Amino acid sequence: MEDKAQIQEAIKIQGEVVRKLKSEKASKEQIDEEVAKLLELKAQLGGDDGKHQFVLKTAKGTRDYNPKQMAIREKVFNTIIGCFKRHGAETIDTPVFELKETLTGKYGEDSKLIYDLKDQGGELLSLRYDLTVPFARYLAMNKITNIKRYHIAKVYRRDNPAMTRGRYREFYQCDFDIAGQYDAMIPDAECLKIVYEILSELDLGDFRIKVNDRRILDGMFAVCGVPDDKFRTICSTVDKLDKMAWEDVKKEMVNEKGLSEEAADQIGEYVSMQGGMDLAERLLQDQKMSQSKQACAGLSDIKQLFSYLQLFQVTDKVVFDLSLARGLDYYTGIIYEAVLTQAGVAPVTNDNQQGANTEENVSVGSVAGGGRYDGLVGMFDPKGRKVPCVGVSIGIERIFSIMEQKAELSAERVRTTEVQVMVASAQKNLLEERLRLVTELWNAGIKAEVMYKKSPKLLSQLQHCEESGIPLVAILGEQELKDGVVKLRDVATREEFDISRAELIAEIRRRTSEA
């Protein structure tokens, strides 16, 4: 516990910080953060009434999901899991934290974004940064050499959150991977088929899947005269081509990374190329490119891949794009990324401060990505035994954002429950009868609700149905009880009719079966 005077001093300083930020017109996000710290300090001190004041918020970069968001989330998951299951995938789960050591050396520069747990005695632990490294750890630990699995779970990155664009510090990943020694490009093609199916089914608008190969990139760098030790850094500059113009990318290569202008221009020529199997064939004949054995291996695989994609009927959306260069260190072969091409369904981008895309026709960002990583599992195996893997990660948070936006714009209300019928009463003192009836319905598997009041008003019971989209009301009154019937009301049409208790359950099922 800190001393009271110390806290008061800290409050004074923090107050200055907030005032300064406000006077400097800092971003709302920044000010909010400092205000939260101030409130926290004040809370430590306690209010005048001695009552502890809480800061009522979730941790920075995280959010609650309310019932409406959960309903949308469930729908999206059902579509995606349905596709994974159609392709015969099993599922696994791993703990939310791993030994710190398990994550060490897997993420390059991004390692600084890993959340560590406090050392409270015992092992040093970190929150998982993605699902791929735990998957590789799982395979090595259990000596599994082939599996087709999906894993949907939250991962954690101490990144600068941009929540308006669907970027959080806690977010879902949704991964499908095929591990095992198989004939080239068959599992790789299935991953692309899966992306195609999911994006089509979710109906997010038109999309494109860009494909490239790590070996083609490396070969290209070699034949363009990039020094070996600059491959990675030049690659990460190429990766910015989806957000920056070529001119700026070139400037970065030449001015910041010290590449010769000539080499940069040669790269510029290649990375502007897009096509299909034909482009791969052309590049295999390319005087320069064909000098690289690596590039040729990659190009042959791209050809093979497209032949399978034709059989899978997905070539209309797939494009071989030499500018695609995904960041992660562990990719060894094919890489791919899916982008939505309709600007209209983009996640809200109202953080102008960061100079976000303002053009109309830019791609609205990646909604899936992945590739082949044949070396990762071997990093965990004591004997270095390799298990070739290829996988795809669905950018589920961005998809949630888009679906939420669509739901906002749509006239249709999102239901957050599946209740089929409300057991109501127009008269007082019929609670027991309502409870008896709702028990009958529950026992028959009908989704039903009753108000937790002894004598609720009929109007408020009907209002609840309207608000939560419950389609039917079963109304009980003295007369109905005498006659052994229930008055069934259709909420949408307001039609009402009596039905015998014996027939009620079948009638409710009949009327709600299409829902």
Residues 77-136 that bind a second copy (CB under 8 A): 85-99, 101-102, 105, 115-120, 122-123, 125, 127
Region near a second copy per CB under 8 A, out of 14-22, 64-72, 272-280, 324-332:
64-72
Among 4, 13, 16, 55, indicate the residue that binds a second copy (CB under 8 A): 55
Q: Which of 374, 302, 211, 239 is nearest to 231 (CA)?
A: 239
Whose Cβ is closer to a second copy: residue 221's or residue 380's? Answer: 380
3-state DSSP call for residue 165?
A: helix
Residue 368: both structure tokens together: 């899936």
Angle between helices 431-443 and 501-512 (to 10 degrees): 60
Whose Cβ is closer to a second copy: residue 209's or residue 295's? Answer: 209
Binding residues for a second copy restricted to 442-481, rule: CB under 8 A:
442-443, 445-449, 452-454
What is the smallest separation between the CB atom of 393 and a second copy, expressed in angstroms?
A: 19
Torsional class of 137: left (φ above 0), alpha (ψ -120 to 50), beta (otherwise): alpha
Among 21, 63, 273, 274, indicate the residue that binds a second copy (CB under 8 A): 63
Whose Cβ is closer to a second copy: residue 119's or residue 206's? Answer: 119
What is the smallest separation between the CB atom of 364 and a second copy, expressed in angstroms?
A: 26
Among 42, 106, 137, 165, indicate the residue that binds a second copy (CB under 8 A): 137
Binding residues for a second copy restricted to 2-41, rule: CB under 8 A:
33, 36-37, 40
Whose Cβ is closer to a second copy: residue 229's or residue 432's? Answer: 432
What is the smallest separation between the CB atom of 177 and a second copy, expressed in angstroms?
A: 13
Rounded-to-integer distance, Cα 468 and Cα 454, Å: 21
Q: What is the DSSP string of 336-400?
A: EEEEE--GGGPPP---GGGT---SSSS---EEEEEEE-SSHHHHHSTT-----EEEEEE-HHHHH
Rounded-to-integer distance, Cα 430 and Cα 201, Å: 47
Among 4, 20, 436, 509, indicate the residue that binds a second copy (CB under 8 A): 436
What is the smallest separation between the CB atom of 165 and a second copy, expressed in angstroms?
A: 18
What is the smallest separation between the CB atom of 458 and a second copy, expressed in angstroms?
A: 17
**x-or-dash pattern for a second copy, window 387-426, by CB under 8 A?**
-----------------------------xxxx-------
Rounded-to-integer distance, Cα 333 and Cα 327, Å: 13
Binding residues for a second copy restricted to 347-386, rule: CB under 8 A:
379-380, 382, 384
Query: Distance of CA 463 to CAs 62, 71, 362, 441, 491, Å?
Result: 34, 21, 45, 21, 10
In the beta sheet, which residues pair with residue 498? 487
What is the smallest separation between the CB atom of 436 and a second copy, expressed in angstroms?
A: 5
Q: What is the CB neighbour count within 10 angstroms for residue 267?
A: 27
**Do residues 427 and 487 lie in contact, with contact meaning Cβ atoms separated by under 8 Å?**
no
Binding residues for a second copy restricted to 191-230, rule: CB under 8 A:
193, 197
Binding residues for a second copy restricted to 159-188, rule: CB under 8 A:
170, 178, 180, 182-183, 186-187
Whose Cβ is closer to a second copy: residue 123's or residue 248's? Answer: 123
Among 129, 138, 207, 306, indicate the residue that binds a second copy (CB under 8 A): 138
Residue 172: both structure tokens together: 């879902």
Q: What is the DSSP letter of 454?
A: S
**x-or-dash pattern for a second copy, window 270-309, by CB under 8 A?**
--------------------------------------x-
What is the smallest separation between the CB atom of 269 and a second copy, expressed in angstroms?
A: 35
Rounded-to-integer distance, Cα 241 and Cα 247, Å: 10
Whose Cβ is closer to a second copy: residue 7's or residue 43's? Answer: 43
Q: Which of 111, 16, 65 is nearest to 397 (CA)?
A: 65
- Give 221-273 as a 3 state SS string: HHHCCCCHHHHHHHHHHHHHHHCCCHHHHHHHHHHHCCCCHHHHHHHHHHHCC
Q: How many chain residues interact with a second copy (CB under 8 A)? A: 100
Q: Which of 348, 488, 358 is nearest to 406 (CA)?
A: 348
